[in-house]
Amino acid sequence: MDFRHFDVLIVEDDVVVSESVRAVLLVAGFTLVRTARTLAEGLAEAERRTPDGAIIDGNLADGSSGLDLVAWLSALGAPCLVISGHLMREDALSAGARGFLPKPFTEAQLLRHVTRLFQARGVTG
């Protein structure tokens, strides 16, 4: 799958996790990878340009919920993958997420879920 032109938004409060996910995506061929740490930052990034897909942590900096962003982006048609060590899969899916990946996860697991995320949107590369 050719990811070069897909715009991915990562919303994660843990900088180490965010940068790790970003690095995996860049190595996989993504060229448009944006990051945010809070709900407000994620909304601002998405308002500038709706991403082709998003990877969102369930609990964000400043106590905000990533599920609020998932619901908003899903309504716009942007598929979301929730990554969390605290939420349940059912919570993520009921908010509108197309996938859920519990922390901790491997690079291979992340790439499998991201590939499914874009296939679910109908993007085949």
Q: How confident is the model at residue 1 (pLDDT cuts 50, 70, 90)?
A: low
Any idea which residue has 């929730």 for tokens? 82
CA 51 to chain centre: 10
DSSP state at residue 76: T
CA distance 100 to 103: 10
61-88 pLDDT, tens per residue?
999 999 999 999 999 999 999 999 999 9
